[in-house]
């Protein structure tokens, strides 16, 4: 029996009550020094290429902006899996290990409770503390160029994790003897061989295979990958039901079941059999050696029904801009651009979703400049990172409407105004700027450097 894909607090309590946690902890003994893992993904890739080693990339559901090695999700993964002597020995000479948190930041979270107060004093109303998301982990085993050989969802047992590593080693020993163009076809055959024939047949009835009888891999579109993942998820849920005794013919499952956004792939019932690895084999039987950058987001979304968060290359630049504005005593406005990422895409949709934002970012920036307010256009990921790096109070937002479109701070960094996406307009922003900035916008700009164009705030 393998462990669940995730342990929510309520599931953890149930496992303790039934004594299963004790069983799981016994399974990780004897402990050993965990494999060294790197927080810097680029550094890990460079080392793997230089040393000719495989990559083990662990994506965790912790705060992506902080990306702490001692976050609960990271500590749990190390204790349950990487600290085991068998796993440590398997990874020691053949792998470069790196981790990355891709879950929501504590600085920018969906609102879970009614809010009271305003500005930086906004806080949850009285009641229970906000619920923490379940711990999630997905480990990708990649070539040095970040093409994926296999992936392992969940906090599996060390024995099962070692079995997956052994399977990859066997496959890799065969792939290295082939020409690069032949490798995807061979790896696909190995993934298909690892599947239950009934599961593979069900998968092919839900997803139209791109492969012909030829040995070479067909081209793929990134649109195809979420389709395959949703089909694999459907087969996973069907197989789960079969093993629990709910015998429903696969072709009788409704479309609503196929694309039910509210159903989580991660569940304590995922502990039955090899469903986690089977899910991976199904996806990679169609996309062998897919690049991690194409696979990670839809896989995480399917396993968690949560948004996949990513570090921006502009992180340091935005932090420097904020620090400079604070030094100069400037009012600031953050313009949050549209978010095209959907928590769990519906591949059956005929029309792709579009951004609800119609008012151009440039218009907001121009209006801010007229009022001598420094502005930057940021993505939602960049907003979360800036709130974290600048040590600003967390911003909660309504999950249905998303984060504010416009966020204003005064010279002290106090959050003094927000405009929701559906309310963003030149008239709305002008009124807010007039209220917040007032006559100070018309004052002569006097800067420490003698520059004009930015007012010193009171």
- 0.85 surpassed by pTM: no
pLDDT at 359: 57
Common-topology check for domains 6-304 and 315-442: yes
**Does domain 315-442 bear CATH number 3.90.470.10?**
no
Alpha carbon separation from 227 to 124, 186, 219, 222, 241 (Å, rounded): 38, 23, 15, 9, 21
Quote the Cα angle for 11-12-17, to 5°.
Answer: 95
Tokens found for residue 350: 């005929």
- Which architecture characterizes domain 6-304 according to CATH? 3-Layer(aba) Sandwich (3.40)
pLDDT at 194: 95
Give the gyration radius of the chain's Cα atoms: 25
pLDDT at 341: 63
Task: Please tell me the distance from the alpha carbon of residue 115 to that of residue 325, in angstroms, as a whole number.
Answer: 29
pLDDT at 344: 43
Task: Please tell me the distance from the alpha carbon of residue 103 to that of residue 64, in angstroms, as a whole number.
Answer: 5
Task: Please tell me the distance from the alpha carbon of residue 411 to that of residue 414, in angstroms, as a whole number.
Answer: 7
Tokens found for residue 400: 């249905």
Task: Please tell me the distance from the alpha carbon of residue 41 to that of residue 293, in angstroms, as a whole number.
Answer: 12
Q: Give residue limits of the domains in the chain.
A: 6-304, 315-442
Q: Which residues are paired to 151 by β-bridges?
A: 140
What is residue 438's DSSP assignment? G
Could you tell me which residues come within 8 angstroms of residue 286 by beta carbon, excluding any fewer than 6 positions away?
Answer: 188, 207, 209, 210, 211, 224, 228
How does pLDDT run along the chain (458 residues), one tens digit per residue? 333 344 444 444 433 333 333 333 434 444 556 678 899 999 999 999 999 999 999 999 999 999 999 999 999 999 999 999 999 999 988 999 999 999 999 999 887 554 444 444 444 444 444 455 577 899 999 999 999 999 999 888 999 999 999 999 999 999 999 999 999 999 999 999 999 898 999 999 999 998 877 667 788 888 899 999 988 988 887 777 666 665 666 655 554 454 443 344 444 334 333 457 889 999 999 999 999 999 999 999 888 888 899 999 999 999 999 999 999 999 999 999 877 664 344 443 334 444 444 456 777 888 887 788 999 999 999 999 999 999 999 998 887 777 888 999 988 888 988 888 888 888 888 888 887 776 444 443 323 332 333 333 33
Q: What backbone phi and psi angles, to 5 degrees, belong to 281? A: -60, -40
Quote the Cα angle for 420-425-426, to 5°.
Answer: 135
pLDDT at 317: 96
Task: Please tell me the distance from the alpha carbon of residue 15 to that of residue 24, in angstroms, as a whole number.
Answer: 10
pLDDT at 91: 93
Task: Give 96-137 as a DSSP string.
Answer: EEEEEEEE--TTEEE--S-EES-GGG-EEPSSSPPPPPPEEE
pLDDT at 239: 74
Q: What backbone phi and psi angles, to 5 degrees, belong to 103? A: -90, 175
pLDDT at 309: 94
Q: What backbone phi and psi angles, to 5 degrees, belong to 256? A: -65, -30
Could you tell me which residues come within 8 angstroms of residue 95 by beta carbon, excluding any fewer than 6 positions away?
Answer: 35, 53, 54, 55, 56
pLDDT at 110: 80
Category of 208 on φ-ψ map: left (φ > 0), alpha (ψ -120 to 50) or beta: beta
């Amino acid at each position: 029996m393998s462990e669940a894909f995730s342990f929510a607090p309520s599931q953890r309590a149930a496992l303790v009550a039934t004594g299963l946690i004790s069983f799981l902890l016994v399974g990780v003994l004897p402990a050993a020094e965990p494999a060294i893992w790197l927080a810097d993904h680029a550094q890990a890739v460079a080392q793997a290429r230089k040393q000719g080693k495989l990559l083990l990339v662990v994506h965790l559901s912790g705060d992506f902006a902080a990306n702490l090695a001692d976050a609960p999700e990271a500590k749990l993964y190390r204790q349950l899996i990487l600290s085991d002597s068998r796993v440590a020995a398997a990874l020691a000479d053949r792998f470069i290990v790196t981790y990355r948190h891709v879950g929501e930041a504590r600085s920018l979270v969906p609102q879970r409770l009614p809010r009271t107060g305003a500005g930086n004093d906004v806080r949850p109303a009285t009641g229970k503390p906000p619920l923490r998301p379940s711990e999630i982990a997905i480990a990708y085993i990649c070539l040095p160029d970040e093409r994926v050989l296999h992936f392992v969802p969940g906090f599996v047992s060390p024995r099962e994790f070692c079995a997956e590593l052994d399977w990859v080693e066997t496959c890799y020993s065969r792939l290295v003897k082939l020409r690069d163009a032949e490798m995807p076809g061979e790896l696909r055959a190995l993934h298909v061989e690892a599947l239950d024939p009934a599961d593979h047949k069900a998968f092919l009835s839900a997803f139209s295979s791109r492969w012909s009888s030829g040995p070479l891999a067909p081209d793929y579109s990134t649109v195809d990958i979420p389709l395959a993942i949703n089909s694999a998820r459907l087969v996973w849920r069907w197989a789960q039901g079969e093993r629990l005794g709910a015998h429903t013919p696969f072709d009788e499952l409704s479309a609503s079941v196929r694309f039910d956004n509210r159903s989580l792939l991660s569940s304590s019932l995922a502990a039955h059999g090899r469903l986690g690895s089977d899910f991976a084999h199904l996806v990679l039987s169609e996309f062998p050696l897919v690049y991690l950058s194409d696979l990670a987001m839809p896989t995480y979304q399917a396993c968690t029904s949560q948004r996949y968060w990513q570090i921006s290359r502009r992180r340091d630049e935005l932090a420097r801009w904020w620090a400079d504005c604070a030094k100069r005593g400037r009012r600031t406005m953050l313009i949050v651009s549209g978010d095209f990422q959907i928590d769990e895409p519906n591949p059956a949709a005929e029309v792709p979703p579009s951004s609800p934002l119609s008012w151009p970012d440039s218009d907001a920036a121009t209006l801010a400049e007229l009022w001598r307010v420094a502005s930057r256009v940021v993505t939602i990921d960049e907003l979360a990172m800036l709130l974290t790096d600048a040590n600003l109070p967390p911003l909660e937002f309504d999950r249905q409407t998303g984060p504010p479109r416009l966020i204003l701070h005064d010279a002290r960094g106090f959050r003094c105004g927000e405009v929701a996406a559906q309310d963003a307009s030149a008239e709305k922003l002008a009124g807010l700027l007039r209220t917040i900035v007032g006559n100070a916008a018309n004052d002569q700009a006097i800067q420490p450097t003698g520059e004009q164009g930015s007012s010193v705030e009171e």
